[in-house]
Amino acid sequence: MPGSGWVTDRPPSVFARTPEPPYYAVIFSSILRGDDPAYQRMARRMEEWVVRQPGFLGFETARSPGELGITVSFWDSLEAIALWKAESEHQIAQRRGREHWYAGYVIRVARVEQVRGFSPGNESGPAGGTPMRRDPPGGR
């Protein structure tokens, strides 16, 4: 799936395995200028690099061809996010992204307080990850 974010061959139905909240999510929404093989190489390189970063918990990514892409990475702390942002290899990828690959992007950081969802055949949680929570009476 060219242009899909950090991993170009990851099935879209794979959920990140995350611990019990709270933890943090970095939501990276982007639009690519085109399909550049150099972008694909850098995306794979960043995936290989990020999994070794302290505090990294996992990610989920999706992109429609020529449209909006969203990658959500999960972290155990704001400090871990700051270290990843400042990491030298990631700095190179950020600069090249602004100069060559992205028509635009937005980055949001959020604290995850609750996880809910559905995964067929697995009521314990998405892809065996965090157990599903039922909303309390009155909903949330």
φ, ψ for residue 34 (rounded to 5)? -175, -175
57-115 confidence digits (pLDDT tens):
999 998 887 689 999 999 999 999 999 999 988 999 999 999 999 999 999 999 999 99
pTM, two decimal places: 0.76
Instruction: Using pLDDT thresholds of 50, 70 and 90, give the confidence band for residue 1.
Output: very low
pLDDT digits (tens, 9 = 90+) for 37-51: 998 899 899 999 999
Number of H helices, E strands in the chain: 3, 4
Report the CATH fold assignment for 23-128: Alpha-Beta Plaits (3.30.70)
Residue burial 70-101, b: 16+ Cβ < 10 Å; e: rest? ebbbbbbeeebbebbeebeebeebbeebeeeb
